[in-house]
Structures are given as structure tokens and as C-alpha cells.
A and B are shown apart, each in its own frame.
Chain A
Amino acid sequence: MKPDEVEALLDRFAPAAPPPYLEEKIRRRLVRKRSQAAVFAVAASLLVAGVTFWAIFGAPEPGGISGPAQQTEDEKKVAELVRTLETGDLVERDRAMEELKKMGTGILPNLRRELGNAADAEVKARLQAVIGYLAHPAFERVKEIDLTSTGGVECAAWSPDGRQLAVGQPAGVVAIYDTASWKEVRRLEMPGGVRNVALSPDGKLLAVQGDHKVSLLRAEGYSEEASMQVEAASGSFLFIDNARLAFSGLWRDCVSLFVVKLDAGTLTLARDPNATQPDCFAATRDGSWLACWHGGGLGEPEIEIRETRSWEEVVSVEPPEQRHGRKPQPFLPEVDWALAFSPDSKFVAGRSDESPLYVYETGGWKLMKAWEPHDRLPVAVGFSTDSRYLITAGADGLVRAWRCGDWVEVASANLDGQGVRLLPSPARETVAVAVRFSEQAAEAHIERLPAGQEAPQKLLIFSLREP
């Protein structure tokens, strides 16, 4: 066979057609990208104008396939289904409701219009139920604080009542902000540096991790109550309860979990640091459980849950390995793990540098979902304070809200930057996305630093608002 005959032969064949769902997947993704861009553009312009976003537009409504032809068909179908709600028997009405729910958020304007025109109370109630099912919350950017001139953001923590925000800065400063006025109300000089900050559940203690020391300060007056010399290590930093603090530190050259207790003005070890060397950890809101994510090393990766009084193991789950088929990830020499309990303790969500994001329910420790919430690592995770939404923020510059239960993405916002990283990042080549929440219901607060030394370093505050 000659080369030109081979060429002719090749030409007699065509590439196999893509699977039918691929086009739909791409369309959905594009619609989502468009809605994100639209939300950001509107929010940005309204911030400048000082006008309230919600007062004018209401919630953005992502979803649905764009294009005039599709919208017309949707309108017709919605009208038909609403007629069924008016005239059909009970079974037909139920079916019509289910059909409407399946049509997605793109039909919300039509449904709202139909609701305005509906006279029958039952039809109104059914339409409201469908709208309630489809309507999604959305992120609203509340505040942006530029901290470039004062050294940027290293870490942050909310007071339990959400009225204050403690921001750790690399130059060894903790700035306390009043969240009503967003004014700095206090500035604490910490000569040993600031790696992490946390506030106790009762709001009475401020914990600060420096390079070589952990300090506890009385929030009233910010006088030092106690301190302990420990070499800092990258990792979680949290109060288990009002008297116990958990943090990562170096113990015999190993990154270990320290649990210390405030006892008569002294910090003492409440657990042997040799016991656990987790990659990250998280506590339930009531402090009864501590979850530790062990990345594996020589063993299998696992999430270990322990009761925090006896330190007995509650359960240990081994997430399935799901690397095959993952999207390509940029190679990152340093990535962080993430782990969080929902405030109602029903779910725990976590991911490692190599795994997808896993969500387990804590009743039967069943794996609810495993997926890649962002295109780029690392990813920070947290839950809204009402436990209804899982929030993720990724290095792709997005923050996303996922509805607990069906884990459908219901809102997203743009962090208007790239190279965002998790907090804390000791290497500091690029710094942070962190997701934290105040006690005010359904509020999500995200802070981030863009990549690069010269980039402005800002604290971005978002709220997750219901429509």
C-alpha cells in the first residue's frame, strides 16, 4: 500500500461522534460562566454606585439553555403546565409540578409572572412551592478591604457574634474590625509574628499563633492570659471549646496535633502531640468530635473522628481512591488539605491534595458525594451557619455554594483574581482563599489574597443571601 492510498483510506473514515450528553454539558457550563460574569458585573457597578443589588434586581437566576428559540419553547411548556395546575386532577397537578421542577431555574421569571396572574389559591400555593424549590440563593459582595499598605492578610477569624473580625497580618499585627462600620477598632502588635488567629466560642479569648509561640489573650482589653513556646507549622487552628485550643505545631521535627488547655492562667498539653500527625483537622461546633484527615504517607488516606474527652475513636473512614478520570490539575508544589463539619454536625466535608472533595453524613458514615468542585487546587471548604449550604472556594478564583442533600451548585461568585490559595500558606508565594462564617445565619465570608508580592492584598466579604 502506498502512502497516498493510506491517505485516501483514512479519508474514508470519520471520527466517532461525541456522546450526546457532551454538548449539553458544555452548554450548561457556559451558561453558568455567563451568569457568574453577569452577577459580578452587576455587583461591581452597584457597589460603585452605592445602590443595593437586591433592591433592584433580586436574585440572579442561573441555569437553563440560553437562546431565543429555547426560551420560547420553555415559555410555552410552562404555560401548558400551569394550565394543568389549574384544570388537571390531583395526579396531573403533581406531575405538572415535577415537570416544572425539572425545567430548571431558567423558567423562574415565567413562573413568577404566572404567580402574579394566578387567581386560584391552590395554584398559587403550588407555583410558590416550585419557585421555592428552584430559587437559589446568591452571593453578594458586602465589603472589600484593601490591606496592601498595612501588609496584607495572613489569617482571619470571626467573633462568635459576627460583630468583629480579627485579621492577622504578616508584619506581626492583629487588626480588629467592627463589622458594622468596617472600621479598624483595635490594632495589636505581636512581635512573634502572626500565622493564625482564632476566637473562643464564648468570644472571651483570642488565640494567636506566631512563629514560635501560641498566645491566649483576653478579648476584653487584649491582655495576654497565657502562652506556650511551640514552633509553628502549617495547618488548622481552632478552639475545640472555651478552654481547649487545637493547632498544628512542630514536635520532634514532625508536624503534630497539639491540644492545649487553659488551666489557672497556664497552657498545658491536653493530649500527647505524638498521638496524631494529621494533615488537617476540624471540630464540630459543640466540640465533642475532632476529625483528622491523614493524607496517607505509607498507609491509606483516612478521615479519623475522635471524641474529644476520652480521645476514643468514633469512626475511621477511608475515602475511595478516585484519581482516575480527574481533570488535569496544575502541578503545585505545595497544596493544602481542607476539612469542615457542618454546624449541625450532620456532614463532614474534606479533600486532600490528591483526592476529590468528599462529603460524608455522620449518621451512618455513608459517602454522600465525591466530586471536583473547582478546576484548580487548592480548595477551601466550609458550611453556611444554617448548615444548608456547603461553600467551596478555589484557586480558579471562584466561590461556590452547594445545596446540602442533593449537592447541586446553587450560587457562585467571582473572586476577581487568579492564583488564590488557601489560608494559611507558610510559603506565602501566593496566599489565600479562606471560607469562614459569622454566627449570622446563612452568611458566608470569604477572604483571599491574589498571587504575587506586588498584587493588592484584599479582604473580600461576601454574604450568601436567600432570594
Chain B
Amino acid sequence: MNRESCDEGELLRNYRQGDADSFAEIYRRFSAPLLLYAHSLTRDGALAEDLVQEAFAKLLGLDPPSLRDTLRAFLYAIVRNLARDWSRRARLREKSFPVLTPRAEPADVDAEMLSRALDRLPDEQRETVILKVYGEMTFDEIAALAGEPPGTVMSRYRYGLQKLAELLEEKP
């Protein structure tokens, strides 16, 4: 079975039927961007890992028919809700942001500079940019997750890119 070509629902169904390799594929597809997203919400590496762990545990404990959203939307929503619960009880103590890694040879901007610039975006813009670029979500999916109209999400994305451009052009 070629799991890389399976759709999300098929993977989840296969995993629930005992196919351990389907979990590996689900994890491969979603873990890194999900961790980046969790980290951007919490600024806490250990907590972000816990949130990701919790999200996968919840997802894989579900029967596929009871999953009303896409697998991707479900995972991001869980992480978002958990992070929100957590932030009610804790203050963000330290500002740290995970370093991105270049896919190929980077040019004039290094990963740390980009991470820092992302970190300085307003929360809503940062969330939208991360979900769109690294979470590979559509504007409609982000809108559903954030509980905002799609137009608002598109504006946030556009303003986020503009702000990022300004930040990257700032002299250190």
C-alpha cells in the first residue's frame, strides 16, 4: 500500500484498523508544521510538544466517521484550543521562537532572521501566515478555525506579508 498517496481519511481509517505505518505517515505529514504552530502560540518548547502530543492522541482516538472536519483542521483546532486554555492560566514567560530550517540553499535572509521577524508580527497575522504557508490551509479553513470571516483572514495574511517585508528590510 502506498501510504503517501492515501488521503487523510483513508490514513486515519487504516490506522484505526491496526495499520501502524499509517500513523507514521499522519505524523510525517502534520507533526512539524503543527509543532511550529503550537510553538508560535505558546513560546514554550516543552508545552508545544505536549499540545502536539495531545492533539495526535485525540485525533487517533476518534472513529473516522465522527471526524467532521478534515484531519488537518481538527489537529490545528485542538492545538489552538489547548493553547488558549493554557494561556488563561499562565503568562507567556519568555519570547522564544523555533528556528525554521531552509528547504534548499538560502539566499540573503537566514532562518533565524525570518523566525525573529515572524515572532514580531501581531498574533493574528502571525497565526494566519503560519497556518497558510506552513499549515497549507486554505483561507476558508483558517477562517473556520479562527472563527472569523474569510475576508478578515485574507486581510490579515496580506498585512502580515507587508509587515514581514518591512521587518526584514529593517537594519539590525
If A11-B133, A17-B101, A30-B60 touch, does A328 touch B82 (CB 8 Å cutoff)? yes
Residues of B within 8 A of A23 (CB): 24, 27, 31
A12 an interface residue at 8 Å Cβ cutoff?
yes
Pairwise interchain contact A13-B165, C-beta atoms closer than 8 A? no
A116 an interface residue at 8 Å Cβ cutoff?
no
Residues of A within 8 A of B53 (CB): 22, 25-26, 29
Residues of A within 8 A of B51 (CB): 328
User: What are some 16 contacts across the A-B interface (CB < 8 A)?
Assistant: A9-B109, A10-B134, A13-B114, A14-B101, A15-B35, A16-B32, A22-B35, A23-B24, A23-B31, A26-B57, A29-B53, A30-B23, A30-B56, A327-B47, A328-B85, A329-B89
* Residues 60 to 108 of chain A near chain B (Cβ within 8 Å): 65-70
A323 an interface residue at 8 Å Cβ cutoff?
yes
Pairwise interchain contact A16-B100, C-beta atoms closer than 8 A? yes
Q: How far is the CB of A12 from chain B (nearest CB, A)?
A: 6
List residues of chain B with CB under 8 Å of any chain A CB: 18-21, 23-24, 27, 31-33, 35-36, 44, 46-47, 49-54, 56-57, 60-61, 82-83, 85-86, 88-90, 93, 98-104, 106-107, 109, 111, 114, 129, 133-134, 158, 161-162, 164-165, 168-169
If A16-B101, A23-B27, A33-B57 touch, does A324 touch B32 (CB 8 Å cutoff)? no
If A14-B32, A16-B100, A22-B52 touch, does A30 touch B57 (CB 8 Å cutoff)? yes
Pairwise interchain contact B161-A18, C-beta atoms closer than 8 A? no
Q: Which residue of B lies closest to A11 (CB)?
A: B133
For the residues of B in contact with A, the DSSP-based class is helix
Residues of A within 8 A of B134 (CB): 10, 14-15
Q: How far is the CB of B92 from chain A (nearest CB, A)?
A: 11
If A3-B161, A17-B32, A27-B23 touch, does A324 touch B111 (CB 8 Å cutoff)? no
Residues of A within 8 A of B114 (CB): 9-10, 13
Quick one: which of B20, B36, B50, B107 contacts A16, CB cutoff 8 A?
Answer: B36
Residues of B within 8 A of A1 (CB): 165, 168-169
For A, the interface residue count at a CB cutoff of 8 angstroms equals 42
Quick one: which of A33, A323, A324, A325 contacts B61, CB cutoff 8 A?
Answer: A33
Pairwise interchain contact B47-A325, C-beta atoms closer than 8 A? yes
Q: Which residue of B lies closest to A23 (CB)?
A: B27
If A15-B32, A16-B32, A16-B98 touch, does A29 touch B161 (CB 8 Å cutoff)? no
If A33-B61, A69-B20 touch, does A15 touch B44 (CB 8 Å cutoff)? no
Residues of B within 8 A of A325 (CB): 44, 46-47, 50
Beyond A2-B165, A16-B32, 16 additional pairs, beta carbon < 8 A: A5-B165, A6-B165, A11-B103, A12-B106, A13-B101, A14-B134, A15-B98, A18-B35, A22-B49, A23-B31, A26-B52, A68-B20, A70-B20, A325-B50, A329-B89, A331-B85
Pairwise interchain contact A328-B89, C-beta atoms closer than 8 A? yes
Pairwise interchain contact A18-B20, C-beta atoms closer than 8 A? no
The 4 closest A-B pairs by CB, nearest first: A67-B20, A328-B86, A15-B36, A3-B161
Residues of A within 8 A of B47 (CB): 325-328
* Residues 33 to 66 of chain A near chain B (Cβ within 8 Å): 33, 65-66
Complex CA gap A429/B88 in Å reads 22
Complex CA gap A330/B106 in Å reads 42
Complex CA gap A9/B113 in Å reads 12
Q: How far is the CB of B105 from chain A (nearest CB, A)?
A: 9
A333 an interface residue at 8 Å Cβ cutoff?
no
Quick one: which of A14, A22, A323 contacts B31, CB cutoff 8 A?
Answer: A22
A297 an interface residue at 8 Å Cβ cutoff?
no
Q: Which residue of A lies closest to B61 (CB)?
A: A33
Residues of A within 8 A of B57 (CB): 26, 29-30, 33
Complex CA gap A11/B100 in Å reads 11
Residues of A within 8 A of B86 (CB): 327-329
Pairwise interchain contact B158-A3, C-beta atoms closer than 8 A? yes
Q: How far is the CB of B83 from chain A (nearest CB, A)?
A: 7
A299 an interface residue at 8 Å Cβ cutoff?
no
Q: How far is the CB of B150 from chain A (nearest CB, A)?
A: 18
A220 an interface residue at 8 Å Cβ cutoff?
no
Q: How far is the CB of A74 from chain B (nearest CB, A)?
A: 13
Q: Which residue of B lies closest to A14 (CB)?
A: B103
Complex CA gap A66/B164 in Å reads 45
Pairwise interchain contact B101-A10, C-beta atoms closer than 8 A? no
Q: How far is the CB of B122 from chain A (nearest CB, A)?
A: 16
Q: How far is the CB of A283 from chain B (nearest CB, A)?
A: 32
Quick one: which of B23, B32, B107 contacts A18, CB cutoff 8 A?
Answer: B32
Complex CA gap A369/B57 in Å reads 25
Residues of B within 8 A of A5 (CB): 165
Pairwise interchain contact B83-A328, C-beta atoms closer than 8 A? yes
Pairwise interchain contact B164-A6, C-beta atoms closer than 8 A? yes
Pairwise interchain contact A327-B50, C-beta atoms closer than 8 A? yes
A7 an interface residue at 8 Å Cβ cutoff?
yes
Quick one: which of A12, A19, A25, A65 contacts B103, CB cutoff 8 A?
Answer: A12
Pairwise interchain contact A16-B99, C-beta atoms closer than 8 A? yes
Complex CA gap A264/B93 in Å reads 59
Q: How far is the CB of B72 from chain A (nearest CB, A)?
A: 14
